[in-house]
A and B are shown apart, each in its own frame.
Chain A
Amino acid sequence: MAAMIEPIVGRYANVAVAGRSHRIYFEEAGQGIPLVCLHTAGADGRQFRHMMNDPAITDHFRVLAFDLPWHGKSSPPDGFQDEEYRLTAAAYVAAIRAFCAALSLERPVVLGCSIGGRIVLRLAIDHAAEFRALIGLESAAVQAPWYDTSWLHRPDVHGGEVCAGLVSGLIAPQGPASSRWETLWHYMQSGPGVFKGDLHFYRAEPDWSVDLARIDTRVCPLYLLTGEYDFSCTPEDTARTAQQIADARVTVMQELGHFPMSENPAQFRRYILPVLDKIRASSGAI
């Protein structure tokens, strides 16, 4: 019997980001409105495989997910061995815009989760006209550090296992075990110090709340969806952020946590499809 071949295709793009060359791995499936998906801290684009295998999405959207430098199959840059990886907002925004430009994506939708959910706020503040719509999953302008991240990268604790152990609690208990463990597997595979370096993005960046009033959702609609079991970015954190943005659309997702697209794809679908339908309707349906 022939194997079921998924429609997802993976390729590498050689892209300069802030003057430094990067070999960026990305996957894509579908056709239509470009929809760029940003993975969570310490993970990679595989988190979006269910969206890329969903004809209800790929019939209308060209779904793309790239692995940030240092993540998944994207290489760390030359000389990485002598530096500590630390994600900044500037580097993150530069990577997203460089990827979209390299693939000549015309006013893509960007959907980001966790760190990706937070960075879409920065895109909304500073670059709204470049995007058709922005979707923040588990998104907040500010998140106070709530644990000692030094445990994530030290020689006497297995980095992959402790990262998986930490984020396991951010997954809602109702999802399928296979999806829970696949989500954790991505964390187990992350390079040493990468999850910790991503979390630097929360600690180093100031509270963006003061900038939120500059977001004009008439230029670019903004959707914020947060899982009720996410205790890292709680629904209350998202609500506080949304209160400062005119016409941000907030949804609290039941029986979901911090990784909605990978921890329980069927449940997430119930929430993301209506959002994508709205985006499609307002951008002149394809």
Chain B
Amino acid sequence: MSGKIISPGADRSAVHGMIEKLPELVNHDAALLRRGRYLDLDVLIEIGDVPYYVSIENGRIARLDRGPLLMRSWALAFRGADDAWRQFWQPFPPPHFHDIFALAKAGQFRIEGDVHPLMANLLYFKDLLAAPRRLAEGVR
């Protein structure tokens, strides 16, 4: 079952279309769901100036809402420009765009909020955030 998607307004770049596939990509990935099975968290993924609120329940994306939605709370945020996400989601990203910490170290991503759930579920988060790469590969 895919999460509910609210999509006001038109996408300004392909990356916005890619993130809206995130619930489907994650929720059909049994190995990823198993890896994240103990995780419940509200996460913010910001692409340029567009916030996406991702509600994770037992590793499954229960909701993905496109913002801005005032007063919507989140515990952990990943923020980057459209181009940083676009490069990150290529099947074979170039060096420094291939990993969330590489992007953060290069100043292309900001990782904010409570880092503990990220570090406790690091392999899960890395695979979740990289999941849209599979769209370009035509896997799904």
Q: Report whether chain A binds chain B.
A: yes
Query: Which residues in A have some Cβ–Cβ distance to B below 8 Å?
Result: 146-147, 151, 156-158, 161-162, 164-166, 168-170, 172-174, 228-229, 231
Indicate with 1 or 0, residue by residue over B38-55, a CB within 8 angstroms of chain A CB atoms.
000000000000000000
- B122–A162 CB distance below 8 A: yes
- B123–A165 CB distance below 8 A: yes
Contact segment of B7-15, B57-65, B91-99: B91-99
Assuming the A-B contacts A168-B126, A174-B92, are A151 and B119 also in contact, with contact meaning beta carbons closer than 8 angstroms in the complex? yes
- B119–A157 CB distance below 8 A: yes
CA distance A2 to B93 in the complex (A): 42
CA distance A66 to B106 in the complex (A): 35
Determine if B77 is an interface residue (Cβ-Cβ < 8 Å): no
List 12 other contacts, CB 8 Å, given A161-B123, A165-B123, A231-B101: A151-B115, A157-B119, A157-B120, A161-B122, A168-B123, A169-B100, A172-B98, A173-B93, A174-B92, A231-B95, A231-B96, A231-B99
CA distance A163 to B92 in the complex (A): 23
The distance from the CB of A137 to the nearest CB of chain B, in whole angstroms, is 16
Contacts of A170 in B (CB 8 A): 99
Assuming the A-B contacts A161-B123, A168-B126, A169-B126, are A229 and B101 also in contact, with contact meaning beta carbons closer than 8 angstroms in the complex? no
Determine if B116 is an interface residue (Cβ-Cβ < 8 Å): yes
Provide a sorted-by-A list of 11 A–B residue pairs whose CB atoms are within 8 angstroms. A161-B122, A161-B123, A162-B122, A164-B123, A169-B98, A169-B102, A172-B98, A173-B92, A173-B93, A229-B95, A231-B95
Q: Please give the number of chain B residues whose Cβ is less than 8 angstroms from any Cβ of chain A in the complex.
A: 20
Determine if B105 is an interface residue (Cβ-Cβ < 8 Å): yes
A interface, over-half SS: loop
Contacts of B92 in A (CB 8 A): 173-174
The distance from the CB of A189 to the nearest CB of chain B, in whole angstroms, is 15
- A156–B120 CB distance below 8 A: yes
The distance from the CB of B135 to the nearest CB of chain A, in whole angstroms, is 15
CA distance A156 to B117 in the complex (A): 10
The distance from the CB of B139 to the nearest CB of chain A, in whole angstroms, is 13
- B98–A229 CB distance below 8 A: yes
The distance from the CB of B127 to the nearest CB of chain A, in whole angstroms, is 9
The distance from the CB of B98 to the nearest CB of chain A, in whole angstroms, is 5
Closest to A169 in B: B99
CA distance A158 to B117 in the complex (A): 11
Closest to A165 in B: B122
Contacts of A173 in B (CB 8 A): 91-93, 98
- B123–A169 CB distance below 8 A: no
CA distance A151 to B91 in the complex (A): 29
CA distance A231 to B98 in the complex (A): 10
Assuming the A-B contacts A146-B105, A173-B93, A229-B95, are A162 and B119 also in contact, with contact meaning beta carbons closer than 8 angstroms in the complex? yes
Choice from B105, B106, B116 contacting A156 with Cβ under 8 Å = B116
CA distance A170 to B102 in the complex (A): 8
Contacts of A164 in B (CB 8 A): 123
The distance from the CB of B1 to the nearest CB of chain A, in whole angstroms, is 27
Closest to A230 in B: B95
